[in-house]
Amino acid sequence: MNRPNTAQQVAHAEIFARRVTARLSEAEADLDYDITERLRAAREQALARRKVVPTPAIARHPEQESAAAAPSGKRNWWRAVVSAVPLSAMVAGLTFFNGVQADEGATEMAEYDATLLADELPPTAYTDPGFTQYLKIAAQQKQPTDKH
């Protein structure tokens, strides 16, 4: 389904509103004073209640461009600051956890090195291929045999 562009919809609505306003303004000259006052009051109420709909940039006048740019820039700056807070909290958390994990890893390595150096065997024995075979045989001999 091809839907019309939102900017096109706003532009068409703007053109329609201008045509209706022009026709109403032409017919206003023929109305009585009390009717025109009631219409003026109703128009003011409608303008007070209406939702602000941004108009497309091509339909704006230069005065409206400069007026619209100031609050928009201020809002974008504030949005950037508010978005940066959770992002910076996440970066700080990841940095903290990385530091804790690195400390734990260093502690584990220090314990392993201390155990290795305090052992009766020299460190080169652990790199000997026959040592793993020796450990397997020693583990088998320590297991109790259940033969009845």
- pLDDT, one tens digit per residue, over 73-97 is 567 888 888 888 888 889 999 898 8
- pLDDT, one tens digit per residue, over 2-53 is 555 788 888 899 999 999 888 877 877 788 888 888 888 888 888 888 766 6
State how far the Cα of 7 lies from the Cα of 54, in Å rounded to an integer. Answer: 10
Mean pLDDT in residue range 107-129: 79
pTM above 0.95, yes or no: no
Question: How high is the pLDDT of residue 24?
Answer: 78
Residue 3 token pair: 């839907």
- Residues 103, 110: contact at Cβ < 8 Å? no
Question: How high is the pLDDT of residue 1?
Answer: 47
Mean pLDDT in residue range 111-127: 77
Domain spans, the chain = 1-62, 88-139
Torsion of CA 121, 122, 125, 126, to 10 degrees: 90
- Residue 56 pLDDT greater than 70, yes or no: no
Q: Report residue 62's pLDDT band, with 50, 70 and 90 as the boundaries.
A: low
Question: How high is the pLDDT of residue 54?
Answer: 59
